[in-house]
Amino acid sequence: MRSEVRGGWTVVAVSGELDADTVPVLSDLLEESSSDRVVVDLSGVPFMDTTGLSLMLDWHRRLEGVGGEFRMACLQASVHKLFRLTELTEVMHIHDSVDSATVGR
């Protein structure tokens, strides 16, 4: 996992499975970010379990609660299916690319 600032957004790139073993690492990285505008690039994530889903929803609520924004980009089909099945595609900001996710406020 790595992060960079792009156009006022903190972009966190994640690779590998996002599950109970790896969610704490991503959580710590997000905590270290002082940005209220975050994009999580999930292009390298072939699998996410409910702990990953929970973390994404928690950060979405957290940042929206303080007037910030939380967006996700480049979801692989299996991960996107998880968001569809839980009907979170209606709630979360999901983008096809990091570039489209980092446009606007």
pLDDT tens for residues 45-63? Answer: 999 999 999 999 999 999 9
CA distances to 37, 51, 83, 100, 102 from 105, in Å: 8, 28, 23, 11, 8
Query: What tens digit of pLDDT does each residue of 14-41 get?
Result: 999 999 999 999 999 999 988 899 999 9
Where does the pLDDT of residue 105 fall: very low under 50, low under 70, confident under 90, or very high at 90 and above? low
Residues in the chain: 105
Please report which helix (H) or strand (E) contains residue 4, including its range: strand 2-6
- What predicted TM-score, i.e. pTM, was given to this entire model? 0.94
Are 29 and 59 a contacting pair, CB within 8 Å? Answer: no
Average model confidence (pLDDT) across the chain: 94
